[in-house]
Chain A
Amino acid sequence: GAVVSQHPSRVICKSGTSVKIECRSLDFQATTMFWYRQFPKKSLMLMATSNEGSKATYEQGVEKDKFLINHASLTLSTLTVTSAHPEDSSFYICSAQTGNYGYTFGSGTRLTVV
């Protein structure tokens, strides 16, 4: 079946630095990928939708300059948290659309900003 690999699984960074999270579709081409943020014991909040070769579409309230999304190929989308601060600490999950309304999720990235 479709597999989405998300890396890294955990990252700790210093406040003010940037962190890049990768989301790869391993055995299929993902035209559309989704990036979610999940707060502790909370549901998934969609941050943005990325489409290969075009600019990402951000949800209302999500800072485009803070959360840079790049979907340069059909198998890779990246989320860069720029100038990270402790309030950006969270669990980030990517998802790739597979076929007709199929969605495969990555295993998530735990970001801690110190």
Chain B
Amino acid sequence: AQSVTQPDIHITVSEGASLELRCNYSYGATPYLFWYVQSPGQGLQLLLKYFSGDTLVQGIKGFEAEFKRSQSSFNLRKPSVHWSDAAEYFCAVGPSGGYNKLIFGAGTRLAVHP
């Protein structure tokens, strides 16, 4: 069965430091992979997605992610974190099932120290 694992529940970094959020997936075919960000009490905003092609994907807000098939990973990175990046980050994989459902990881809560 398809699944997504985000091993880190909570990460704290200092402003200006680099960031890497981990995501591992289990999927029977070539996956479509997504990273979303959620601010408190808000919906989800798409940061980036990978369907095919170049395995290094650039997204909004300076984020990037690298698809590594051999490791079944799609880690999110940012070279320099800003205080406004504090939020919940979700990795997702799809499609799943006949209606192209997304399967979400448990999320990683990012705190940024000044």
Contact = CB atoms under 8 A, between A and B. Distances in A.
A46 B42 CA distance: 17
Given A106-B43, A107-B42, A101 B95 contact: yes
Say which size band chain B's interface belongs to.
Answer: 20 to 34
Interface stretch (B18-26, B63-71, B77-85, B99-107): B99-107
Contact of A105 (B43, B51, B97): B43
Nearest to A106: B43
Interface in A19-72: 32, 34, 41-44, 46, 49, 51, 57
B17 to A, nearest CB: 24
B44 A93 contact: yes
A97 B109 contact: no
Say which size band chain A's interface belongs to.
Answer: 20 to 34
Contacts of B46: 103-104
A108 B43 contact: yes
B28 interface: no
Contacts of B106: 42-43
Contact of B90 (A41, A43, A57, A106): A43
B43 to A, nearest CB: 4
Contact of B32 (A32, A43, A57, A101): A101
Interface of B: 32, 34, 36, 41-46, 49, 51, 90, 94-95, 97, 99-102, 104-107, 109
